[in-house]
Chain A
Amino acid sequence: MTVTIYTQSSCSSSRKAIKWLKEHNIPFTEKRITSQPLTLSEFKNILRMTEDGTDEIIATNSNDFKNLDVDIDQLSIQELYELIKEHPRMLRSPILIDEKRIQVGYNEMDIRRFIPRKVRVYELNELRKHADEIVS
């Protein structure tokens, strides 16, 4: 599965993240939301990966957001989506997402989580395993 990166124009963090993905040969699709509005389906897929819906993805310090003067918590999902479609810069940038996780903003440590990794079986001491089974 590939990474999707939602970027904004003239955003240095977006450029850095893309450069990083290329350097690490991680397949990705870029979508520049300042020229191509986010679809409702994409928006929901982003929300799905967040902890608390909006806190992580809204750039509360941005002028776009401040000028709007709205209480996010009072909005329905539909209303919030309409707002974001109109004012994409109220979102933080970039937003990276794959089937497992979301990362907002560029951070050279955290972005490494998108490097595919293998999984191995944790070898528990068999004796202890039996002991636990007896206890539980």
Chain B
Amino acid sequence: MNNIQLLSEPVASTKTTKPIELYIFIDPLCPNAFKLQSMLKKLQLEYEHYFTWRYVLSTELQTLNCVTRRIKGCLTGTDVDITHPALPSLAIKAAELQGKKAANRYIRKLQEHALLGTKNVHSYSALVEIAKEATLDQEEFIKDFGSKEAVRAFQCDLYITREMEVDEVPSIVFFNECIEDEGLKVSGMYSYEIYVQILQEMLDEEIVSKPLPTFEELFQRFQYLTTDEVASIYSISMSDAERELKKRMLQQKIERVSNDAVTLWRLKSSSFSL
């Protein structure tokens, strides 16, 4: 499309630039963030050939002023662990220093533990363990956690939040290719169709969706999903989604993990691939 490459350039990728940029403002552990991310999953599956996106962490400023707690913990009982409400955001930024995909793997793992309540995701030691589970370069992650680079990355997000005058999470800001146009800010959560409609309005061409993936491809890509997400992705009823999921569970392809609050479906650990 806009792939005007110069001959002198040593070009490896001939990736066509996507016309739309999305800035997705979330507080990663806020329930609203999960809702927006569910919507984003479907939008990626159907329309990601039109847009690039990145998360901007909009951590409530009041949480930054909380007191750091030191807790004794860990197996030896001698290590000192700390917890702070802003630690998960800083951890995500440290993960991001290994690239956006690494950060997204990290966020997914972090949220999985938060949803299932399997780790205290505000504690330093748990956040380091999650880096390992998300297959990051763990040594580098530990160095970066709390480094000036991670803090600066975090500040960048606060700066973008201010610059785009985002005062509510979740929000999405859309930019198209036409630099004379203003970016469009959509605050709050709307139905999937609204976001598709906005994409359409920002494009010069008729928007065309990609076919949805099979169940197996879906789980390869997102690792875990709720019944609700599966139902909404395939536009089927909850009971149909549940039946399809149970079928795969019996085939040993996926497993169900749940606690009182939430049920997640994920690839069987043995076939877990990132």
Contact = CB atoms under 8 A, between A and B. Distances in A.
Interface of A: 1, 11-13, 16, 41, 44-45, 47-56, 58-62, 76-78, 92-93, 99-101, 105-110, 112-113, 115, 117-122, 124, 128-129, 132, 135-136
A119 B194 contact: no
B58 to A, nearest CB: 14
Interface in B1-40: 2-6, 8-13, 17, 21, 23, 35
A109 B184 contact: no
Interface residues of B, number: 53
A13 B179 contact: no
B51 to A, nearest CB: 13
Contacts of B9: 13, 92-93, 105-106
A120 B182 contact: yes
B210 interface: no
Contacts, number: 133
What secondary structure prevails in chain A residues at the interface with B?
loop
A100 B98 contact: no
20 contacts: A12-B6, A45-B152, A47-B97, A51-B101, A53-B98, A55-B12, A78-B139, A92-B12, A93-B9, A100-B160, A105-B9, A105-B11, A107-B4, A117-B183, A119-B173, A121-B184, A128-B194, A129-B190, A136-B189, A136-B191
B185 A121 contact: yes
Given A45-B149, A110-B2, A119 B160 contact: no
Nearest to A108: B4
B17 to A, nearest CB: 5
Nearest to B201: A122
Contact of A61 (B5, B11, B191): B11
B160 to A, nearest CB: 6
A21 to B, nearest CB: 14
A13 B4 contact: no
Given A12-B8, A13-B6, A115-B179, A124 B190 contact: yes
Nearest to A131: B191
Count chain A CB atoms within 10 A of each CB in B13, B21, B99 and give the residue with the most. B99
A101 B21 contact: yes
Contacts of B137: 76-77
B132 interface: no
A109 B191 contact: no
Contacts of A41: 148-149
A78 B184 contact: no
A117 B175 contact: yes
A51 B184 contact: no
Given A59-B10, A119-B165, A132-B194, 8 more contacts: A1-B156, A44-B149, A48-B100, A99-B159, A117-B182, A120-B182, A120-B184, A136-B191
A51 B100 contact: yes
